[in-house]
Amino acid sequence: MSIDEARLKKLRFRAWRRGFREADLILGPFADRHVQDFSPAELDWFETLLEQPDQDLYAWIIGTLPTPPEFDVEIMNRIKAFRFEVHQVRGDDHGG
């Protein structure tokens, strides 16, 4: 496994295992689908994003808190849009 493959695997794992289920269910699938296409700078940014507190990060994604300027970039917009794709694919799994 190359360094890049190991880094991608680690990022995917971290995106799925944040400990905050709502964020996991957005960031995990997003990472699975997109991190392999990120540039090195985008990987650095995503790694930094994953270091942020769960509650803050989730609030930025769903729009209940403003996204700080350093994170208000194109990838964050893709994550925000992706959360709707995830919900459409998953459907209503709450039974009603």
Domain that holds residue 62: 3-90
Residue 58, exposed/middle/buried by CB under 10 A (0-12, 13-18, 19+)? buried
Element (H, E) at 63: none
Residue 16 included in any domain? yes
- Structural domain count, the chain: 1
Decide if 29 is inside a domain. Answer: yes
Q: What is the pLDDT of residues 42-60, one digit of tens each?
A: 999 999 999 999 999 999 9
pLDDT recorded at residue 96: 41
Reply yes or no on whether the pLDDT at 90 is more than 60: no
Q: Is residue 95 part of a domain?
A: no
- Can you give the CATH number for the domain in which 8 is found? 1.10.150.250
Strands (E) located in 1-96? none
